[in-house]
Amino acid sequence: MTARLGYSITGAEQAPVLVLGSSLGTTRAMWDRQIPALSEQHRVVAFDHRGHGESEVPDGPYSISELGADVLALLDELGIARFSYAGLSLGGMVGMWLASEAPDRVDRLALLCTSPALDALPAWRDRAASVRTDGMAAVTDVVLGRWFTPGYAAAHPDVVDTYRAMLRTTPPDGYAGCCDAIGPMDLRSRLAAITAPTLSIGGAEDPAIPPVHAERMAAAVPHASLEIVPGAAHLANVERADEITALLLDHFGGE
């Protein structure tokens, strides 16, 4: 059964649709720096994954296919048949599933700081168990240390505080359920089925999903290009907002 997702829509009703999927432990607010510019040319639909933000929190564990089916159900409800998609981390994993599962619906794709397989099932099981037992405080400091480079965190404590609050208020059951989805995930066999022109973006200083993952995706997905963004940790679209916005505008405005 699909979960009801929280979402927002900006931009002209008749503009081409661009869907934005966020990272584990964040809400759609993580795209706030990109949405104004993207909305000038697109009807932007930003959503919260199940278990996050304003979305429902079903009992876990979850799977990537369930997270993807949630998005398709939302778009069907909104009457959206075709769309482009950009997703970071967990959002990118969902994007790979969507573009391979429903290639006739996805026009263009951007995959940011993500991977089709992390090959770390015990670590994800441990993280899910820790959050279920001790709440979000159990992972907050470690996760924040991966989201931003030390220099950016020191220079922008207000941004770090905003994302600390976002992470701490994520429902533990929702976060853990998504950890359960990421742990066994292996989308590598699906990459060749992606027909949408794809932009693979890595953060040069991302300790969570290093840029080699972006390089491998760009090599495996047909019609893919690669960009490695200097000075970016995991939440590259926050830390290097202008550069990411420019890359997305160029990619989604292309032919």
Does 172 reside within a domain? yes
Q: Say which CATH number the domain at 217 has.
A: 3.40.50.1820
Which residue in the block uniquely carries the two structure tokens 């278990």? 51
Q: Is residue 1 part of a domain?
A: no
80 lies in some domain: yes
Model pLDDT, residue 255: 44
pLDDT confidence of residue 77: 98
195: containing domain: 7-252
Query: How high does pLDDT run on average in the chain?
Result: 97
Do residues 170 and 50 touch, judged by C-beta distance below 8 A? no
pLDDT number for residue 53:
98
CA atoms of 96 and 83, how far apart (whole Å): 14
Distance CA 36, CA 100 (A): 29
Which 8-state DSSP code applies to residue 106? E
Q: According to the 3-state scheme, what is the secondary structure of 187-207?
A: CHHHHHHCCCCEEEEEECCCC
Cα–Cα distances in Å, from 24 out to 82, 103, 107, 144, 162? 25, 24, 24, 12, 15
In a domain, 174, yes or no: yes
Domain contains 2: no
**pLDDT at 100 (0 to 100):** 98
User: pLDDT tens, 85-119?
Assistant: 999 999 999 999 999 999 999 999 999 999 999 98
The pLDDT value given to residue 200: 98
pLDDT in tens, 133-168: 999 999 999 999 999 999 999 999 999 999 999 999
Asked whether residue 75 is domain-assigned, the answer is yes
Task: Please check whether residue 206 is in contact with residue 232, taking contact to mean a CB–CB distance below 8 angstroms.
Answer: yes
Could you give the number of structural domains in the chain? Answer: 1
Question: 17-75, pLDDT tens digit by residue?
Answer: 999 999 999 999 999 999 999 999 999 999 999 999 999 999 999 999 999 999 999 99
| Mean pLDDT across 199-220 | 98
Distance of CA 175 to the CA centre of its chain: 14
C-alpha angle 63-226-32 in degrees, rounded to nearest 5 = 65
